A and B are shown apart, each in its own frame.
Chain A
Amino acid sequence: GIQVEQSPPDLILQEGANSTLRCNFSDSVNNLQWFHQNPWGQLINLFYIPSGTKQNGRLSATTVATERYSLLYISSSQTTDSGVYFCAANNDMRFGAGTRLTVKP
């Protein structure tokens, strides 16, 4: 099956800073999603983005399917952005290991 790798594994930022999270995948994808997992375990949908670019407020994402990677951009980070960010690929939703983001006030 498809392999999904995320980087960096951990990221610590000061409030207001920008960040880029990366997701590499080993094969072509027909589904690529980004999630934020809150402290209670809920996986919150951020983007469904098998290709192209999308923006939602301070967050945006780009998937370059031909080069097998996706990027999640967080601008002007806030403490509430803290948590674990996962990407998941394809119809059987294989997850990467996640990026644990800590935003300090």
Chain B
Amino acid sequence: DTEVTQTPKHLVMGMTNKKSLKCEQHMGHRAMYWYKQKAKKPPELMFVYSYEKLSINESVPSRFSPECPNSSLLNLHLHALQPEDSALYLCASSPPRGVNTEAFFGQGTRLTVV
């Protein structure tokens, strides 16, 4: 099973709302990632968790707050977003460094901020 599950698939939120994106994997991967992808652009790395600890934060605004409560689950909490934050948000997971580190992606959450 190489499945990474993201929910919800679509989300429309107002600029004053608080919402969360969820990502789940059961492959035993200990690295998990959040990416943001705008139309006709490549995925841009936002955050990396390694063994449930935040290891990379690509200077992402604080209105995006990641959380990794356990080795299977990754959340992205959203608060006070702007319309320019509308994008496809992708989650990925991979085995830890030092072994076959092939990453697998979820189907993404398409976010619209109104």
Mark A residues whose CB is within 8 Å of B: 30-31, 33, 35, 40-43, 45, 48, 86, 88, 91-98
Q: Given that A33-B103, A86-B42, A92-B48 are contacting pairs, would A41 and B110 also be in contact in the complex, using a CB cutoff of 8 Å?
A: yes
Q: Given that A43-B90, A45-B104 are contacting pairs, would A95 and B31 also be in contact in the complex, using a CB cutoff of 8 Å?
A: no
Ordered by A's residue number, 24 sampled pairs between the chains whose C-beta atoms are within 8 Å are: A30-B101, A41-B37, A41-B108, A42-B105, A43-B43, A43-B90, A43-B92, A43-B105, A45-B102, A45-B105, A48-B100, A48-B102, A86-B42, A88-B103, A91-B101, A93-B33, A93-B45, A93-B94, A93-B103, A94-B45, A95-B42, A95-B43, A96-B42, A98-B42
Interface assignment of B80: CB less than 8 Å from any CB of chain A: no
- Give the shortest distance, in Å, between A102 (CB) and chain B (any CB): 14
- Give the shortest distance, in Å, between A72 (CB) and chain B (any CB): 15
How many residues from B make CB contacts under 8 Å with A? Answer: 25
- Give the shortest distance, in Å, between B46 (CB) and chain A (any CB): 11
5 tightest A-B CB contacts, nearest first: A48-B102, A95-B42, A43-B105, A31-B101, A41-B108
A97 to B108, CA, bound (A): 19
Interface assignment of B73: CB less than 8 Å from any CB of chain A: no
Give the residues from 82 to 114 in chain B that come closer than 8 angstroms, CB to CB, to chain A: 88, 90, 92, 94, 97, 100-105, 107-108, 110
Interface assignment of B56: CB less than 8 Å from any CB of chain A: yes
A45 to B104, CA, bound (A): 7
Give the residues from 13 to 62 in chain B that come closer than 8 angstroms, CB to CB, to chain A: 31, 33, 37, 41-45, 48, 56
A43 to B104, CA, bound (A): 8
A94 to B42, CA, bound (A): 9
Which chain A positions have C-beta within 8 A of B37?
Answer: 41
A94 to B45, CA, bound (A): 7
A33 to B94, CA, bound (A): 12
Contact A42 B31 (CB under 8 A): no
Contact B107 A42 (CB under 8 A): yes
A92 to B56, CA, bound (A): 8
